[in-house]
């Protein structure tokens, strides 16, 4: 289990790979936002916070659904990438953390978090999230992960290498995060869903996605280069390849 200091230090590594993150990380399937919408996440004229928005991978799925969007992200380089996305030019992007959200009390109808809640100090973040949520508002969580059922060999190899250095178990982050919300007196019981999709990527994007993982960013350069070279050699030679994904999603209303 990481200490709070270790968690913060590892999270800060993303600032060094914002370009790779934007180039390679998958976006979220439209079914995710549609599910959240069915639960009331985007009331007409409402406001939604994308917390720890990164380069806006999840933010893209939120726009155009009847609510205004605001993004909060602690990393300067990630914020800079988000502001270059044409579809997000009208989205305000604020510097801030989950534990100290720079928004007024009762100011948003939903808070959503993609691929990041496991980085938070859960009790402090949940208190901060509940503070900014309006009565009846909800918290949405989502993670993209490799879908290993029938996955191509290169995806299985990539996943094995991530696990070998302690970084492939997104499932553990999902379990710990959902348990923290479940244990909180601030939120009602979680609802959950899964969505399967296939991302069509270039081999370069597949490598960028891998290179943007915090535990790989933090490796010494020889080890990092060796790992990326091994996966590069296993990638198909086609211009575009399939990366099967499973998106695990949750929703909980503020009490």
> What's 126's domain CATH number?
3.40.50.150
152 falls within a domain: no
| pLDDT higher than 80, residue 227 | yes
User: What pLDDT sits at residue 173?
Assistant: 86
- Domain range holding 47? 4-145+167-198+245-253
114 falls within a domain: yes
Q: Whole-angstrom distance between the N-terminal and C-terminal Cα of the chain?
A: 29
213 falls within a domain: no
Write b or e for each residue in 5-35: b if 16 or more Cβ atoms lie within 10 A of its Cβ, otherwise e.
eeeeebbebbbebbbbbbbbbbbbbebbbeb
**Arithmetic mean of pLDDT, 87-91:** 97
234 falls within a domain: no
The Cα–Cα gap between 15 and 4 comes to 18
**How many domains does the structure of the chain reveal?**
1
227 falls within a domain: no
Confidence of residue 170 (pLDDT cuts 50, 70, 90): confident
DSSP 188: P
The Cα–Cα gap between 100 and 110 comes to 16
Q: Is the pTM of this model over 0.85?
A: yes
**Arithmetic mean of pLDDT, 181-198:** 96
150 falls within a domain: no
Dihedral of the alpha carbons of 73, 70, 182, 185, in degrees to the nearest 10: 110
Q: What is the mean pLDDT of the chain?
A: 93
User: What pLDDT sits at residue 5?
Assistant: 57
| pLDDT higher than 60, residue 4 | no
32 falls within a domain: yes
| pLDDT higher than 80, residue 10 | no
| pLDDT higher than 60, residue 11 | no
33 falls within a domain: yes
């Amino acid at each position: 289990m990481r200490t709070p200091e270790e968690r913060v230090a590892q999270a800060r590594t993303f600032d060094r790979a914002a370009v790779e993150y934007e180039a390679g990380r998958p976006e979220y399937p439209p079914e995710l936002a549609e599910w959240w919408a069915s639960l009331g996440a985007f009331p007409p004229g409402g406001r939604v916070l994308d917390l720890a928005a990164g380069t806006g991978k999840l933010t893209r799925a939120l726009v155009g659904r009847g609510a205004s969007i605001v993004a909060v992200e602690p990393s300067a380089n990630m914020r800079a990438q988000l502001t270059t996305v044409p579809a997000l030019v009208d989205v305000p992007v604020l510097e801030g953390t989950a534990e100290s959200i720079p928004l007024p009390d009762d100011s948003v109808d939903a808070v959503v978090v993609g691929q990041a809640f496991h980085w938070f100090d859960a009790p402090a973040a949940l208190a901060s999230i509940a503070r900014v949520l309006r009565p009846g508002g909800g918290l949405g969580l989502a993670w993209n992960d490799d879908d290993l059922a029938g996955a191509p060999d290169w995806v299985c190899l990539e996943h094995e290498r991530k696990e070998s250095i302690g970084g492939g178990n997104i499932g553990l982050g999902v379990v710990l995060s959902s348990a923290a919300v479940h244990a909180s007196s601030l939120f009602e019981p979680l609802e959950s869903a899964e969505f399967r999709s296939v991302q069509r990527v270039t081999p370069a994007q597949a490598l960028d996605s891998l290179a943007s993982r915090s535990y790989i960013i933090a490796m010494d350069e020889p080890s990092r280069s060796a790992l990326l070279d091994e996966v590069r050699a296993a990638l198909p030679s086609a211009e575009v390849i399939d990366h099967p994904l499973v998106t695990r999603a949750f929703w909980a209303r503020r009490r």
